[in-house]
């Protein structure tokens, strides 16, 4: 029994080390005080005695995100900004909607691993491992399927069907962040020099300017 418990404790320890992205909280909670003047990593805590149930609550994920855009894709993020009780807890979530054949373009979350569950429809998903392998790991998912995108790796989804698709994502940060590759590369402010991108992508300045113009 003691040995079983010992192995269990070790397993728990291993998982807590491997999975914790944001720092572990040092108290029951630290509801974000978004008006605080003090700057810390995350938000300062509200006085615990003034905390309400509404600080731990969000409503609205029964409503689909707007997918009427050129990508056919929309997401509703519930991070510390929408739900102040998430401050210091290292977790957040999102509802993701896809019009038929809509895409969530290649992007990274600099601070979070993402675990995605398909609620409706069929999604083609994938991520790319880092250099030098750049292995493309991809799979087609159906209702009830779960897929994980490891922290910081470039990943994407496409609705591979003629009906709407919807998924719920959990993310291992109160503030996962997002870097859509097309936007950060071709739509930075100010632009990266066209000739730098032309050389990097082995193409001409014209092709790069044309893409930059669209972002
Ligand atoms: C969805 O987004 C489009 C494009 O921004 C906008 O024109 C439309 O009004 C939005 N629809 C809803 C229901 O908010």
Identify the CA nearest to 145 among candidates 127, 122, 165: 122
Q: Whole-angstrom Cα distance, residue 206 to residue 135?
A: 30
User: Would you say the CB of residue 66 lies under 6 angstroms from ligand 1?
Assistant: yes
- The set of residues, in sequence order, having a beta carbon less than 8 Å from that of 6 and lying 6+ positions away, is none
Hey, whose CA ends up nearest to atom 9 of ligand 1?
Answer: 68
pLDDT at position 39 is 87
Q: Whole-angstrom Cα distance, residue 152 to residue 134?
A: 14
How many angstroms separate the alpha carbon of residue 65 from the centre of ligand 1? 10
User: Would you say the CB of residue 138 lies under 6 angstroms from ligand 1?
Assistant: no
Q: Whole-angstrom Cα distance, residue 187 to residue 209?
A: 11
How many angstroms separate the alpha carbon of residue 151 from the centre of ligand 1? 31
Is it the case that residue 7 has pLDDT exceeding 90?
A: no
Hey, whose CA ends up nearest to atom 3 of ligand 1?
Answer: 68
pLDDT at position 22 is 74
Range(s) within the chain of domains with CATH label 2.60.120.10: 25-177
User: Would you say the CB of residue 193 lies under 6 angstroms from ligand 1?
Assistant: no
Give me the count of residues in the chain: 215
What is this structure's pTM?
0.87
Using the structure block, give the residue that is written with the tokens 């079983």. Answer: 4
Is it the case that residue 160 has pLDDT exceeding 70?
A: yes
Hey, whose CA ends up nearest to atom 6 of ligand 1?
Answer: 68
150 in helix, strand or coil?
A: coil
Q: Whole-angstrom Cα distance, residue 55 to residue 33?
A: 10
Q: Which residues are annotated as a binding site for Mn(2+)?
A: 107, 109, 114, 155
Q: What is the CATH number of domain 25-177?
A: 2.60.120.10
Q: Whole-angstrom Cα distance, residue 178 to residue 156?
A: 12
pLDDT at position 21 is 63
pLDDT at position 211 is 97
User: Would you say the CB of residue 63 lies under 6 angstroms from ligand 1?
Assistant: no
Hey, whose CA ends up nearest to atom 11 of ligand 1?
Answer: 66
Backbone angles phi, psi at 188, to 5 degrees: -70, 165
- The set of residues, in sequence order, having a beta carbon less than 8 Å from that of 144 and lying 6+ positions away, is 117, 118
Query: 3-state DSSP: the chain helix, strand, coil percent, rounded to 5?
Result: 25, 30, 45
How many angstroms separate the alpha carbon of residue 67 from the centre of ligand 1? 8
Mean pLDDT of 172-181: 97
Q: Tokens in use for 2?
A: 């003691």
Using the structure block, give the residue that is written with the tokens 């995605």. Answer: 116
How many angstroms separate the alpha carbon of residue 212 from the centre of ligand 1? 24
Other residues' Cβ atoms within 10 Å of the Cβ of residue 128 = 17
How many angstroms separate the alpha carbon of residue 64 from the centre of ligand 1? 12
pLDDT at position 132 is 97
Give me the sheet containing 146-149, strands edge to edge.
73-78, 92-98, 165-171, 114-120, 146-149
Is it the case that residue 1 has pLDDT exceeding 80?
A: no
């Amino acid at each position: 029994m003691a040995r079983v418990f010992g192995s269990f404790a070790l397993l728990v320890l291993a998982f807590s080390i491997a999975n914790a992205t944001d720092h572990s909280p040092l108290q029951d909670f630290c509801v974000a005080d978004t008006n605080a003047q003090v700057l810390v990593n995350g938000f300062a805590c509200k006085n615990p005695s003034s905390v309400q149930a509404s600080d731990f609550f969000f409503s609205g994920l029964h409503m689909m995100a707007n997918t009427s855009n050129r990508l056919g894709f929309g997401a509703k993020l519930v991070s510390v900004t929408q739900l102040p009780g998430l401050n210091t807890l290292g977790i957040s979530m999102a509802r993701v909607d896809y019009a038929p054949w809509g895409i969530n373009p290649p992007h990274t979350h600099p601070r979070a691993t993402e675990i995605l569950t398909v609620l409706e429809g069929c999604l083609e998903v994938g991520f790319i491992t880092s250099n030098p392998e750049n292995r493309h790991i991809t799979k087609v998912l159906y209702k009830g399927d779960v897929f994980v995108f490891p922290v910081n790796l470039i990943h994407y989804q496409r609705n591979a069907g003629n009906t709407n698709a919807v998924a719920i994502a959990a993310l291992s940060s109160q503030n996962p962040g997002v870097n859509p590759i097309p936007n950060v590369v071709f739509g930075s402010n100010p632009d990266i020099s066209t000739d730098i991108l032309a050389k990097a992508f082995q193409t001409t300045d014209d092709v790069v300017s044309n893409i930059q113009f669209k972002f």
